[in-house]
Structure 1
Amino acid sequence: MKKEVNELEDELRPEYDFSKMQGGVRGKYIDRYRTGTNLVLLDPDVAQAFPTDASVNEALRLLMQIAQRQQPNNPVGVD
């Protein structure tokens, strides 16, 4: 018979006892991580329309081009 596993139970093996680990610092590299990352949480309806980071970037670049063309005297949008 298969043993039922409660999803709330810890799945780590007993030999992995992190309480004995010394020198570990939670969040030690978070500042370094954040400098190279720009994480944005999308609402579900937006995420469904733009399922990949590439599709989001493409849509935003197109929006930037449209906005630049709408501004008078803006040489950035001139082709």
Structure 2
Amino acid sequence: MRKETENEFEDELRPEYDFSKMTGGVRGKYAERYKAGNNLVLLDPDVAQAFPTDESVNEALRLLMQIAQRQRTQHQ
């Protein structure tokens, strides 16, 4: 548990991490690429328990897509 201090923003970094010496960084350089390549979805706890891995979620959704496609073709 974190100690209560008078100064909430007290520096806890080690001395070797001197960010003032870091140069050349560009803020948000890969932000657009990151947003374009990620489709994150927050699962409810009960769903996450039933499908604990991304592979299991994808497999279940692909099966559901197949069933839906069959239903569409049967009713046309």
What's the TM-score, normalizing by structure 2?
0.69
Aligned match of 1:33: 34
CA distance in 1 between partners of 2:11 and 2:71 (Å): 56
Q: Work out which structure has the larger RCO, using CA pairs closer than 8 Å and 6 or more positions apart in sequence.
A: 1
CA distance in 1 between partners of 2:16 and 2:42 (Å): 37
Matched, 1:15 2:27: no
Percent identical residues: 80
CA distance in 2 between partners of 1:60 and 1:51 (Å): 14
CA distance in 2 between partners of 1:11 and 1:44 (Å): 34
What's the TM-score, normalizing by structure 1?
0.67
The superposition leaves residues 13-38 of structure 1 with CA deviations (integer Å, 9 ceiling, x where unpaired) of 21111133223233211111222222
What residue ranges of structure 1 are gaps of 5+ in the alignment? 74-79
What residue ranges of structure 2 are gaps of 5+ in the alignment? 5-9
CA distance in 2 between partners of 1:26 and 1:7 (Å): 31
Matches within 5 A, 1:39-54: 39-54=40-55
Which amino acid is the alignment partner of residue 24 of structure 1? G
